[in-house]
Amino acid sequence: EPEVTQTPSHQVTQMGQEVILRCVPISNHLYFYWYRQILGQKVEFLVSFYNNEISEKSEIFDDQFSVERPDGSNFTLKIRSTKLEDSAMYFCASRWGEKLFFGSGTQLSVL
Amino acid sequence: KNEVEQSPQNLTAQEGEFITINCSYSVGISALHWLQQHPGGGIVSLFMLSSGKKKHGRLIATINIQEKHSSLHITASHPRDSAVYICAVKKGDSNQFYFGTGTSLTVIP
């Protein structure tokens, strides 16, 4: 069964450093998402991407965040200058019709 | 303001019990998802509903669009059902999904 893959599974970084989280969505899906889940809290929407551009973004998705689909398969989330409060599990998802498929997540720890 | 409310927040059941988890939402939706989050963190989609009822094995999900309410039922619960169950809705005029805070289920042998 096709799946969404995310790398790395864990990322540890120093505050102020840039990180890039990578995702390979399911190949024929058109809508892609990044979500985050801070430990003990609910899953929060960050951004949705369609037709090679951002279609919606939340208040969390400020200028420190950016997304790209550089080569038609990878879908990346970049955090330019990480803060302690960026520590969370980041999930990528892709959508076919109304059905959502999640990656297994990247646990980001900012020290 | 939470667009999606779930209850209960935590639930402990004996193996074999019938379990119900509830989800209420306040926005117009085009779809509602029930998700399962394992202790390791991975999220799996169990059901996608836009109306009526769906059944998969011991799991049943229902939705009442007029009342903006959905329920997830687990029959003959088993310790392997222990997980966090999350309700998520897709707003009708949006590409966003809104998530509930989840229901943490523990099934005791």
> What's the gap in Å between the CA of A57 and the closest CA on chain B?
8
Q: Is A96 on the interface with B (CB under 8 A)?
A: no
Chain A residues lying within 8 Å of B45, measured CB to CB: 99-102
Q: State pLDDT tens for residues A5-15.
A: 999 999 999 99
Q: How far, rounded to the nearest angstrom, does the alpha carbon of residue B101 sit from its chain's CA centroid?
A: 10
Q: Within 10 Å of residue A12's Cβ, how many Cβ atoms?
A: 13
For residue A62, the number of C-alpha atoms closer than 13 Å in the C-beta half-sphere is 6
Q: Which two structure tokens, joined as six digits, stand for B18? A: 């019938």
Q: Which of residues 31-90 of A touch B (CB under 8 A)?
A: 31, 33, 35, 37, 41-45, 48, 50, 55-56, 58, 89
Q: State pLDDT tens for residues A26-38.
A: 988 889 999 999 9
Please tell me the predicted confidence (pLDDT) of residue B1: 64
Single-letter code of the amino acid located at A44: E
| Residue B27: Cβ-neighbour burial (10 angstroms; 0-12, 13-18, 19+) | middle
Q: Which of residues 36-75 of B touch A (CB under 8 A)?
A: 41-45, 48, 50
For residue B103, the chain A residue with the least C-alpha distance is A42
Whether A98 sits inside 8 A of B101 (CB atoms) is: no
Please tell me the predicted confidence (pLDDT) of residue B91: 84
Q: What angle do CA B101, A60, A33 make, to 5 degrees?
A: 75
Please tell me the predicted confidence (pLDDT) of residue B68: 95
CA distance B48 to B32: 6
Closest in B33, B42, B94 to A105, CB measured:
B42
Chain B residues lying within 8 Å of A49, measured CB to CB: none
Per-residue pLDDT of chain B (109 residues; tens, 9 = 90+): 678 999 999 999 999 999 999 999 998 998 999 999 988 778 988 999 999 999 999 999 999 999 999 999 999 999 999 999 999 998 887 878 899 999 999 999 9
B88 contacts B100 by C-beta, under 8 angstroms: yes
Q: Is B26 on the interface with A (CB under 8 A)?
A: no
> What's the gap in Å between the CA of A82 and the closest CA on chain B?
22
Q: Could you check whether the bond before residue B79 is cis, i.e. omega within 30 degrees of 0?
A: no
- Say yes or no to pLDDT of A107 above 80: yes
CA distance A52 to A70: 9
Q: Within 10 Å of residue B37's Cβ, how many Cβ atoms?
A: 21
> What's the gap in Å between the CA of A11 and the closest CA on chain B?
15
Please tell me the predicted confidence (pLDDT) of residue A104: 92
